[in-house]
Chain A
Amino acid sequence: MKPAPFHWHAPTTLAEAAALLAEYAPQDGRVLAGGQSLLPAMALRIARPPHLVDINRVAGLDLLEVVDGVLRIGAVVRHAAFLREAAPGPLGALLAAVARHIAHWPIRQRGTFCGSLCHADPAAEWPLVAAVLDAVMVAHSLRGDRRIAAAAFQRGLLDTALEPDELLRAVELPLLAADARFGFEEVSRRAGDFAQAMALAVLRRGPDGRVTEARLGLGGVEPAPRRFPQAEAMLRGAIPDAALIDAAAHSVAQAAQPMEDEGYRRALTRTVVQRALLQACA
């Protein structure tokens, strides 16, 4: 189908975009970024925003840069920007590995990292990355900038901490230490589909093989992706052998609260967490 009629606004500065959002957000005006989630929803008439504030021409929002050990991702940086390593060290490799799982190649040319976080689909990949790596979201409105921790950002299914008049201007991801190792595993029905379950593990280990830092997250199963502190604590200080990895995966599968297909999703959870940890230990 075709979207319902709307007014299109194409600001070229952040100040203009914030002013337009202040004016139109109360009338259900929305930000248009890559359009790869919003335009399908409008074509299906699930969404009928009367105003779109298109941020694609706003100067400066396409910046992707490393400043003081942090990768700063501007609001219109596309998924495709991460297919080639966009950051030094393991972070660049991690983002490149994950980006290949997001939708299809042409959709990755338009869809944005920040748009994916704002859309907050429980099965989207970037929100899991943001949760596991403790990203910081930088929201902007006429009131100025507001920094939001990843754990407080995605509140649930398609629900974030953003106010209607706020624009997510950038996301900050801390670089990973050179000795960090990651594992990412996803199960989806077809290539390019959203995940039925996915896990991301990032480990650092000392010279004796003991885990010094553990980050472990699950997406696609609960309404929002999150870390599992209990399983992370099991890994920390230990040498991760097959038995410990299985125990940690079991612990995540037990703690998870699947939205649907409970038995199947728990089994899948155990599998993806186990595989992600094995990759991170390889």
Chain B
Amino acid sequence: MSEHAVTLRVNGIAHRLQLPARRSLADALRDGCGLTGTHLGCEHGVCGACTVLLDGVPVRACLMLAVQAEGAEIRTVEGLAQGATLHPLQQAFIDHHALQCGFCTPGFLMLAVAMLEEDPDMPEAEMVHRLSSNLCRCTGYANILKAVQAAAAAMAR
């Protein structure tokens, strides 16, 4: 079965990997690059725990082959904080209790980063529509929405 040499650019750093074609981008990030912030829940596209940014847009990292991501700029949750300073979305998730167990959090953070980068003034109804992409079994979503709204306000300042 086919093996491939692939270079993945993740959070600005190149990772040279040798992997079989069937390796998902999510598994390559976790096992190949050692970036275990990207989580895997369902492994078939339903939960969104594996959401990462591919050239600025959110994708399910479990529904892409790692070999397909060659040449793309990948961003994961590890790239959000600047040193000891959390990204405004990370801070807002803490401040607004937008997580309990935290399993879904990396996926929601990357989803929300993409939302606010596309439209910093996104209306609430559109935020709800976009956030419905991912599943959270703990929070009930209301606090996630509050956190994203608070981060949007903080980032506008």
Q: CA A100 – CA B67 in complex, angstroms? A: 29
A40's nearest neighbour on chain B, judged by CB, is B44
Which of B1, B57, B62, B133 meets A7, CB within 8 Å? B1
Q: CA A105 – CA B48 in complex, angstroms? A: 10
Query: Which residues of chain A are near B64, meaning CB under 8 Å?
Result: 35, 39, 110
Bitwise, B49-81 to A at CB < 8 A (1) or not (0) is: 001001001111011110110000000000000
Q: CA A191 – CA B125 in complex, angstroms? A: 13
* B20 with A5: CB separation less than 8 A: yes
Query: Which residues of chain B are near A10, meaning CB under 8 Å?
Result: 67
With A5-B1, A191-B129 in contact, do A36 and B48 touch (Cβ < 8 Å)?
A: no
With A1-B43, A36-B45 in contact, do A104 and B62 touch (Cβ < 8 Å)?
A: no
The number of residues on chain B lying at the interface, defined by a beta carbon within 8 Å of a beta carbon of chain A, is: 30
* B130 with A105: CB separation less than 8 A: yes
With A2-B43, A8-B2 in contact, do A109 and B58 touch (Cβ < 8 Å)?
A: yes
Query: Which residues of chain A are near B48, meaning CB under 8 Å?
Result: 104, 106
- Among the 9-residue stretches B9-17, B21-29, B146-154, the one with 4 or more Cβ atoms under 8 Å from chain A is B21-29
* A106 with B111: CB separation less than 8 A: yes
Q: CA A111 – CA B131 in complex, angstroms? A: 19
* A39 with B129: CB separation less than 8 A: no
> Taking the complex as formed, is B4 at the interface, i.e. its CB lies under 8 A from any CB of chain A?
yes
Contacts from B to A (Cβ < 8 Å):
1-2, 4, 20-22, 24, 27, 43-45, 48, 51, 54, 57-60, 62-65, 67-68, 111, 129-130, 132-134
Contacts from A to B (Cβ < 8 Å):
1-8, 10, 35-36, 39-40, 42-44, 52, 54, 56, 80, 100, 104-107, 109-110, 190-192
